[in-house]
Amino acid sequence: MLKLLLICTLAVASRAEIVEEDDVLVLKKSNFEEALNAHPNILVEFYAPWCGHCKALVPEYAKAAGMLKADGSVVRLGKVDATEETELAQEYGVRGYPTIKFFKGGEKESPKEYSAGRTADDIVAWLKKRTGPAVATLAGVTEAESLIADSEVAVIGFFKDVDSDGAKAFEKAAEATDDVPFALAASDDIFAKFEVSKDSVVLFKKFDEGRNTFDGELTKEDLLAFVKSNQLPLVIEFTEQTAPKIFGGEIKSHILMFLPKAAKDFDDKMDEFKKAAEGFKGKILFIFIDSDVDDNQRILEFFGLKKEECPAIRLITLEDEMTKYKPESQAITAESIIGFCKLFAEGKLKPHLMSQDIPEDWDKTPVKILVGKNFEEIVFHPSKNVFVEFYAPWCGHCKQLTPIWEKLGEKFMDNADIVVAKMDSTANEIETVKVHSFPTLKFFPAGDERKVIDYNGERTLEGFSKFLESGGKDGGAPAGDDDDDMDAEDLDDVDEGQDMDSDGEDDDGHDEL
């Protein structure tokens, strides 16, 4: 008996304790598998204590955990300090913070990437869609009212015959939507309460006009387009919480208004911006950025703006390559913004490329200074081999490279065929060269072919010297083979980047743009 008691005691003691903080499970390598066994459905956030976005998520994540617990849900939320649990983070391919993954049914091999917003409501809605039926059935008016009251956005299909083709198309659209709850209503009292007289689909929301009624052919594709064009406000403010919705959506053309909320004419300018947005719903996303917020300063810098230059309007496309556009008029009126958007839609705008003025002493130092205005002339000179560092003033890796790069310039300064140069890519943009991370090193060999070779060798004086002396062969690769491509959301995650170590910089020696 004593032996059995001892065995049981040891078995219990060997189980790793799962601590909770604000209803969130604190997970480690030692208790991760046990947590999955005890709670088959867990949303897990891999975070870094120094990460600003992770800190901003803390209250919303805890609120979501509490909401699920209060509802009696079996779904739990957990968190892993990826800077401490490096083995666990590596196992699940964590490359940036926060990374959020959903483990369903105790399955640990292929967790689903979380893809919705960063508010408690977003998190709960996404999890309910992932663990419950794609479409809820509303028994009466009270259930319908509760769904609408509890959801920022909800879609109700009003169908007398729930087996009709329209209802089936509605269900298919629901299955393809992660972040909005869908429900079916068939009873006469629900139809009457919401003044619906025939089969239709209505999107209810807590902003703008309050509800939108679908008007078109009931197909999965048309219903999805309807939801996507109406589920966001006419004007959405850029914040930590809204960033995933902004960058993760299907609308890749964004117009941004940079304006301090404290401005006396804030409401007037916002009204003009909203008026302009009405005609481009589902085509161009209208975004407001508070130019006084410290966390938004890097975004201003990305567009070549300073706080004192705001209010300002810019447009950007987030396709394979980001392209920026600047209106000719600085006026923030519905008329001027509509005209600007129409020219963009018609393909009549030229990209806006930033450039500093050419410094008077640009060629007086061993490392030549390039800007947008002299770039083409220097790097594509037919008799020069030009090696360029594209850098950012705030980039830690760039700062580490500076003394080596200057020594390289000194070594080759008397070589008439070789030019060692640098360009601040936060203030200068080139149509022919897209920079995705810092520092980026590219070699432009002499000739008329306008070739570009990426440098992928060691960042040492010896490595750079061999590369130049070999004509770009030793340590080079054709341009375009760089793996450090920037995602659209990196505009939001500029401080966290990807492949981060505990110092906030990536392990492969790049800072993301």
Residue 51 a catalytic site member: yes
Place of tokens 């459905």: 41
Helix boundaries (H) for 15-51: 32-38
- What is the bridge-based pairing of β-strands 99-103 and 135-138? unpaired
Active site residue 310: no
**Residue count of the chain:** 513
The C-alpha angle with vertex 194 and arms to 193 and 195, in degrees rounded to 5, equals 95
395 is catalytic: yes
- CA-wise closest residue to 224 among 250, 198, 196: 250
- What sign does the dihedral 220-222-227-228 (CA atoms) show? positive
Q: How far apart are CA 408 and CA 366, in angstroms?
A: 8
Helix ranges (DSSP H) in 264-333: 266-277, 297-302
Within 363-435, strands assigned E span 368-370, 385-391, 418-424
3-state secondary structure of 16: coil
| Residues whose CB is less than 8 angstroms from the CB of residue 213 and which lie 6 or more positions away in sequence, other chains included | 200, 201, 202, 203
Give me the residues paired with residue 387 across strands. 420, 443
Q: Are 488 and 247 spatial neighbours (Cβ–Cβ below 8 Å)?
A: yes
Structure tokens that stand for 269 in this block: 């300018």
End-to-end CA distance of the chain: 65
The burial of 439, by beta-carbon neighbours within 10 Å (0-12 exposed, 13-18 middle, 19 or more buried), is given as buried
Residues 444, 452: contact at Cβ < 8 Å? Answer: yes
**Residue in the structure block whose two tokens are 């404290």:** 262
Q: Which of 380, 405, 409, 373 is nearest to 390 (CA)?
A: 405
Q: Is residue 421 within 8 Å of 387, Cβ to Cβ? A: yes
Side-by-side strand order, sheet with 153-158: 135-138, 182-185, 153-158, 200-205, 211-213
Hey, which residues are catalytic here? 51, 54, 395, 398
